[in-house]
Amino acid sequence: MFHSKATVMNILSVISHYAFYCLMRAGGALLLSGVLAPAQAQLPTQIGPGQLLSQGAVHYSWGDYDKAARYLYQYVDAAPNHTAARKLLAAGILRTGEGLAQAVDVLTALPEDVWRTDGQYRALLATALLAVGDDIAGLDQLRRLGAEFETPIDTWLTLQRPDKTSTETSTETLAQDRTSADESVTVVDLGPELIKNRIIGVFRLLSQQRYAAAVVAVDELLDDDRRSPLYNHLAGIVHAENNYPELAQGFWQDALRLGKPPLLSTMLGLARLATYYGEQKRAGELLARALLQAPQQIEIILAQAQYWIETGATERAETLLANTWRTAGQRESIVKLIELEIQQGKYTSALTHAEELKAGYPDWSESWLNLGLALLLNGQLGSAWQQFQELTQRQPESAQPWYLMATVSMRAQDYVTALQELEQAISIESDYLPARLVRAEIFLLGQAYERALAEAHAVQNIAGNLGTGFKMEGDIHVAQGNFPAAVDAYAQAYSRSPSMQTALLLNHAQLLAGNHEDAISTLRNWLSIASDASSVRLQLAIQLEQSGQLDDAIQEYKRTLQLEPDNMIVLNNLAWLLRDSAPQQALELAEHALALGTERPEVLDTMGWLLVNSGQQERGLRLLQQAAMLAPHLPLIRYHQALAYEYSQRYAEALEVLAEVQVDELDAELRKQFNQLYERLTARSEG
């Protein structure tokens, strides 16, 4: 049978494709110096670089991605700096669905400075990172593209072929006419699925704070594929940034269920939400699962370390971070270690590690930053200031170095210079919030309340959707003693950025303003969102007790005890409230509290008084005496001590205890009890 030349070429192409597929399956796809060595023999031998590039583009357009990749590997080996060829090669690898890590390698082989402004290059890199399971880095790249590029990224790749005899890198053109008659130019459609403009568009809307439009955009993605873990995770991001954590949690739980394996970003997001809600156990489970899935992923390592820090396991966090730095050289890990050491007051160790970081990464701005902070905390103000001044030269368009110089000046109590440096920071970036916050702090220290309020209002104008400026305003009103205004400001902060911190600030201001029921309602509201927030539940129990709602207080103490069975304050307070209704249970709780806090006067007082009332006067009196020695200024302990002496018929000693108390300084109810006891003891001692 006669075959046309085209037909024969097609048959050969299929045979060649199948042979290459077999080589790939047999492990013959190993790269040698960036080239697919086994595939080289299957390509025409007398072929110049320009033909390699054009053949790669043609085969990509035909959908023969394996063969396109083979041509392009050889071309990139000859012209390694040709960014357009690298993009097409990475796209070809991604299209094959095999050897996906090679797509990442192809794109990251060039320094970032070469492709930082190339949106198409970065979009392909993001897609490659997502394909190999590094969704944290992939989504971060897409987010930054959305913030930096105002229009969609072109899916068409324009290639300018080099001279046939040249092996030098050609210049990529940005041709406007994709039907150019110039035969030296090839235009290839990479495809929307590799550029991911729709996801980038969602991040663009988020960067512009157009949350309603972002919700619509992500809903359209979900309409296309409701079972996509990536789209569900993206929906969670949108709702989280729009301050709807419950909706975010729902989408992230769907993403977690659909992902096989789950997206690391999803587990991180859910862990952060669990922490936000005060559900530390759930956060720990999610982070442990993520770390098991990706033990070398630095973002997971940092999140796990932060979790251990927040739950008091700081030694485990230090060990994890130090090992990561020593074994993997992950610079982010030593930065976190320095931060932890600073939090713990280990300033000498922080300085040692900061010096290590700068020695290892002398050109990294974070190295200068951390060394400057460590020097500052070690009291070496001049050296710290010099580090930050050097940063102003390295980062002339950044406000941060000037802000850091101002923190040094503040430490030296040179507020005039600090204000000048903050002014310089704000002149560079007028919306740089840290500088405005510190400037407000200086005004607050100087009791320049009007100027401090002006800064707070400026922050509100810059970031009105956040609670930061309103929290600052609340702090200023508290300092002024204007508690109703503080309540209003904190309420605004809470409505914009609901968190445990803002809930507690609002609650405190409401108490100062005398709005006790409102204060209790604020705590109940937060607990309806985060029922496992034990510290908030403890505050609720204490305030219920103080307001005389004892039955409700007992229930809240019991709920808190379920969350924190070794909380000394809860054990002690609950024991006190149960002293009459359940004396045996009260004694057991008090014994538990005493085992945890043998030097706490309030615990000794509770246990001592319960023992006295149960007939164990000798031990009870001994504990009350110990409590009185530790806290002689607390009249209630003295009152219990005097009563214990009375029960033991030691009236003279009881009167001596009462004589040491300044009765005029007591509130009316306690003064009445003291006077009654004094009269009773006087009568008995005389009788």
Look at the block and give the residue holding tokens 């706490």: 600
Given a cut of 60, is residue 165 above it in pLDDT?
A: no
Task: Give phi and psi for 159, each to the nearest 5.
Answer: -115, 135
Domain 5-200 and domain 209-294 have a common topology: yes
Taking the CA atoms of 420, 423, 429 and 434 in sequence, report the sign of the dihedral they define: positive
Range with the poorest average pLDDT among 165-174, 206-215, 218-227, 475-484: 165-174
- Distance CA(545)–CA(531), nearest Å, equals 19
**Each residue's pLDDT tens digit, 61-86:** 999 999 999 999 999 998 999 999 99
Average pLDDT, the chain: 87
Q: Which CATH number fits domain 5-200: 1.10.10.10, 3.30.360.10, 1.25.40.10, 3.90.79.10?
A: 1.25.40.10
Going from the C-alpha of 505 to that of each of 336, 490, 494, 668, the distances in angstroms are 28, 7, 9, 30
Rounded CA separation 532/277 (Å): 7
Q: Which residue has the higher pLDDT, 146 or 658?
A: 146
DSSP-assigned states of every residue in 430-487 = TT-HHHHHHHHHHHHHTT-HHHHHHHHHHHHHHSTTSSHHHHHHHHHHHHHT-HHHHH
State what percent of residues in the chain have pLDDT above 90.
Answer: 69
Q: What is the DSSP string of 512-531?
A: HTT-HHHHHHHHHHHHHH-T
Q: How confident is the model at residue 113 (pLDDT cuts 50, 70, 90)?
A: confident
Higher pLDDT, 98 or 123: 123
The CA distance from 38 to 25, in Å, is: 13
Q: What is the model's pLDDT at position 37?
A: 34
Annotate 166-208 with DSSP letters as a single string. Answer: --SPPPPP--S-TT---TTEEEEE--HHHH-HHHHHHHHHHHT
If pLDDT is split at 50, 70 and 90, which confidence band does 185 have? low
Helix (H) or strand (E) holding 32: strand 31-32
> Which candidate, 417, 420, 460, 414, places its Cα nearest to that of 437?
460
If we measure between CA atoms, which residue out of 368, 344, 340, 365 comes closest to residue 354?
368
72-81, 206-215, 248-257, 327-336: least confident range: 327-336
Higher-scoring residue by pLDDT: 49, 84:
84
The first and second tokens of residue 343, run together, are 């939090």
- Return the SS3 of 455: helix
For residue 214, with 0-12 CB atoms within 10 Å meaning exposed, 13-18 middle and 19 or more buried, which class applies? buried
For residue 400, which of 376, 375, 365 has the smallest C-alpha distance? 365
User: Locate tokens 């031990």: which residue?
Assistant: 619
pLDDT, residue 9, reads: 34
How many other CB atoms are found less than 10 A from the CB of residue 487?
26
Cα separation, 288 vs 393, in Å, equals 42
| Distance separating alpha carbons of residues 624 and 627, to the nearest angstrom | 5
Angle 304-308-311 from CA coordinates, rounded to 5°: 135
* 170, burial (CB in 10 Å: exposed 0-12, middle 13-18, buried 19+): buried
**Do 433 and 462 meet the contact criterion of CB atoms below 8 Å apart?**
yes
Backbone angles phi, psi at 49, to 5 degrees: -55, -40
Give tens-digit pLDDT for 389-425.
999 999 999 999 999 999 999 999 999 999 999 999 9
Gap between the Cα atoms of 679 and 654, Å rounded:
12
For tokens 């922080």, name the residue. 350
Provide DSSP, 275-332: HHTT-HHHHHHHHHHHHHH-TT-HHHHHHHHHHHHHTT-HHHHHHHHHHHHHHH--HH
Q: How many CA atoms, within 13 angstroms, populate the side-chain half-sphere of residue 574?
A: 27
Residue 174 has pLDDT above 50, yes or no: no
pLDDT more than 70, % of the chain: 89
The pLDDT tens digits for 557-587 are: 999 999 999 999 999 999 999 999 999 999 9
Instruction: Supply φ then ψ for residue 261, to 5 degrees.
Output: -75, 165
Enumerate residues 6+ apart whose C-beta is below 8 A from 491. Answer: 506
pLDDT for the residue numbered 624:
93
- pLDDT (average), residues 184-191: 80
pLDDT mean over 40-58: 70
Any idea what DSSP says for residue 159? E
Domain residue ranges in the chain: 5-200, 209-294
The pLDDT, as a whole number, for residue 599 is 83
The Cα 120–Cα 196 span in angstroms is 10
Residue 277 clears pLDDT 70, i.e. is over it: yes
Non-local (6+) Cβ contacts of 140 within 8 A are none
> What's the CA gap between 238 and 211, in Å, rounded?
7
Residue 665 confidence (pLDDT) above 90: no
Closest CA to 606 of 578, 632, 642: 578
Q: What is the pLDDT of residue 161?
A: 57
Round to whole Å and give the CA distance between 198 and 235: 13
Question: Is residue 627 within 8 Å of residue 611, measured between CB atoms?
Answer: no
What is the greatest pairwise CA distance in the chain?
Answer: 136
DSSP state of 663: G
Over 60: is that where the pLDDT of 10 sits? no
What DSSP string runs through 364-378? -HHHHHHHHHHHHHT
Residue 31 has pLDDT above 50, yes or no: no
Length of the chain: 687
Give the tokens for residue 573.
């307070």
Q: CATH: 1.25.40.10, 1.10.357.20, 1.10.1370.40, 3.60.20.10. Which one for 209-294?
A: 1.25.40.10
Cα–Cα distance for residue pair 422/561, rounded to 1 Å: 47
The answer to which of 166-170, 290-294, 508-512, 656-660 has the lowest mean pLDDT is 166-170
Is 36 strand, coil or helix? Answer: strand
pLDDT band for position 46 (cuts 50, 70, 90): low
Task: Give dist(CA 319, CA 312) in Å, integer.
Answer: 14
Q: What is the pLDDT of residue 204?
A: 96
Q: Is the pLDDT of residue 363 over 50?
A: yes
Q: 184 pLDDT exceeds 90?
A: no
Q: How does residue 21 score in pLDDT terms, banded at 50, 70 and 90?
A: very low
pLDDT at residue 41 above 80? no
**pLDDT of the residue at 167:** 38
